[in-house]
């Protein structure tokens, strides 16, 4: 595609002549280029249209954080696109892009096998589908929660859907239920329980038990924060 070859040339020039400048400066130059040609004409807009079939109430939707598109960053086909409107449908595990000045009800589903990573709502996500040798329980987008000395905690956002009836209307309610894995030594491990975590860090058994007892309320209120704090706590006592 001619447009993308031009963008590659621009990035090459930026790298060659401005290598001493910061990453943010390069990003700004690419943003200006995208705006000049219209980001809706770029590779991001080549995908299926998104149709939301669900009627929800009280903000219990299937998206990450908000029902609206949010400014974020996505690495797509090896290219970085910053300051683009993104929305992550957790229930279907799909990422959507909306061109500028387009209705919030319209969006394009980004092809998952072409998404490397993305950042939205100050959360960093990686696509683990590209990893060839991985267990069956590892699939799709994961939030990168915490990088310890020898391991990385990743959260798989997940939502349950329940059909509701009220005032003559049928609607859906979605509730959060994240799962967790640990990437350690080139392998992946499930870490959704105290016993699974203890099996990976047996030398920290007492500290893990104490943390679970002390932070029961946090575990019920915010599982991701609880697990992040636990791994940070374990990491502080690791060699």
CA distances from 171 to 51, 88, 175, 181, 204 (A): 16, 20, 14, 32, 46
Estimate the crossing angle of helix 223-236 against helix 205-214, to 10 degrees: 140
Q: Tell which residue, 1, 145, 135, 116, has the closest CA to residue 95.
A: 116
Give per-residue pLDDT as tens, 110-128: 999 999 999 999 999 999 9
CA distances from 98 to 55, 74, 101, 122, 196 (A): 20, 12, 9, 18, 40
Task: Read off the pLDDT of each residue in 55-59 and give the average, rounded to a whole number.
Answer: 82
Give per-residue pLDDT as tens, 194-221: 999 999 999 999 999 999 999 999 999 9
Question: What per-residue confidence (pLDDT) applies to 2?
Answer: 30
Question: What per-residue confidence (pLDDT) applies to 67?
Answer: 87
CA distances from 230 to 76, 108, 155 (A): 32, 37, 13
Strand partners, 153: 146, 182
Q: In terms of pTM, does the model score above 0.75?
A: yes
Q: Tell which residue, 55, 59, 50, has the closest CA to residue 175.
A: 59
Task: Read off the pLDDT of each residue in 146-173 and give the average, rounded to a whole number.
Answer: 89
Does 60 have pLDDT greater than 90? no
Task: Read off the pLDDT of each residue in 104-114 and give the average, rounded to a whole number.
Answer: 87
């Amino acid at each position: 595609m001619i447009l993308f070859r031009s963008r590659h040339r621009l990035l090459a020039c930026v790298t060659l002549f401005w290598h001493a400048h910061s990453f943010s400066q390069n990003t700004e130059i690419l943003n200006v280029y995208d705006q000049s040609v219209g980001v809706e004409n770029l590779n991001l807009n080549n995908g299926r249209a998104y149709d939301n079939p669900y009627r929800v109430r009280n903000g219990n939707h299937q998206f990450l954080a908000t029902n609206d598109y949010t400014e974020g960053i996505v690495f797509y086909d090896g290219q970085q696109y910053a300051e683009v409107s993104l929305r992550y449908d957790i229930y279907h595990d799909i990422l959507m892009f909306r061109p500028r000045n387009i209705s919030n009800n319209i969006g394009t589903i980004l092809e998952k096998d072409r998404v490397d990573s993305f950042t939205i709502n100050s959360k960093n996500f990686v696509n683990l589908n590209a990893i060839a040798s991985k267990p069956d329980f590892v699939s799709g987008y994961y939030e990168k929660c915490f990088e310890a000395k020898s391991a990385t905690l990743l959260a798989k956002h997940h939502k349950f859907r329940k059909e509701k009836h009220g005032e003559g209307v049928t609607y859906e309610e979605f509730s959060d239920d994240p799962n967790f894995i640990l990437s350690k030594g080139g392998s992946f491990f499930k870490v959704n329980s105290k016993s699974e975590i203890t099996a990976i860090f047996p030398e920290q058994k007492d500290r893990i038990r104490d943390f679970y007892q002390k932070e029961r309320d946090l575990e019920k209120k915010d599982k991701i924060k609880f697990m992040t704090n636990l791994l940070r706590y374990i990491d502080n006592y690791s060699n």
